[in-house]
Amino acid sequence: MTNIYIGLVHYPVYNKAGEVITSGITNLDVHDISRSALSYNVKNYFLIHPNQRQKEIFNQILGFWKTEMAAFYNQHRVDALSVIKFAKSIDESVNLIKNQENNHPIIITTTAQTKENQISFYNLKELIKSSQRPIYLLFGTGNGLCEEILNSSDYILSPIQAKSKYNHLSVRSAVAIVLDRLLSEEYKEE
């Protein structure tokens, strides 16, 4: 199986009005997605944000979790944060993966919307098993990734289908579900 990478994109994403915005980093996304990433052997989790001040906030969060006090308080959280990296853009994160892997990743974007020609969880799971290239899953904050990002990817993953008409999971929940469906041996589509 190939290496899996995930990226949490803060720009360009949509707000509720469909405008392109830059969303803010949240402490919960940093911690919870790192925990999911480490649990499913994700090679790196990239937090993608163009703003220098947001990078400073990110570094403050990580700075605390590199102290002895943090290790005493919660070693599991310290371990989980070992997979996270900061990147100013999607392109920067792709270049970091290319340099680490000596290969360009297959870029998979995610959305809660149904689009034409989306790759199913089953087919992506098969691609992960057979690919010689790393897989890079991009998730959007706010109200999701902009169309230009979706359209520039190699594949757009089919949305998570729940049993209700409500379809607006937190990105933390979506990441966990997607990783489980793609990397768990037990998940099979009906």
Question: Tens digit of pLDDT for each residue in 20-43?
Answer: 999 999 989 999 999 999 999 999
* 39 inside domain: yes
What string of DSSP letters covers the chain?
A: ---EEEEEE-SSEE-TTS-EE-PPP-HHHHHHHHHHHHHTT-SEEEEE---HHHHHHHHHHHHHTTSHHHHHH-HHHHHHGGGEEEESSHHHHHHHHHHHHTSPPEEEE--SS--TTPBPHHHHHHHHHH-SS-EEEEEESTT-B-HHHHHHSSEEBPPP--SSS-----HHHHHHHHHHHHH-SS----
* 144 inside domain: yes
pLDDT of 161: 87
pLDDT tops 70 at residue 155 = yes
Please tell me the total count of domains within the chain: 1
Q: How confident is the model at residue 188 (pLDDT cuts 50, 70, 90)?
A: low
* 44 inside domain: yes
* 189 inside domain: no
CATH classification at residue 52: 3.40.1280.10
pLDDT tops 80 at residue 183 = yes
pLDDT of 65: 80
pLDDT of 53: 94
* 190 inside domain: no
pLDDT tops 80 at residue 187 = no
pLDDT in tens, 93-132: 999 999 999 999 999 999 999 999 999 999 999 999 999 9
* 94 inside domain: yes
pLDDT in tens, 125-146: 999 999 999 999 999 999 999 9
32-65 per-residue burial string, b: 16 or more CB within 10 A, e: under 16: bbbbbbbebebbbbbbbbeeeebbebbeebbeeb
pLDDT in tens, 156-179: 999 998 888 887 899 999 999 999
Domain that holds residue 118: 4-183
How do strand 20-21 and strand 13-14 relate by DSSP bridges?
antiparallel
- Cα angle 15, 35, 124 (rounded to 5 degrees) comes to 70
* 107 inside domain: yes
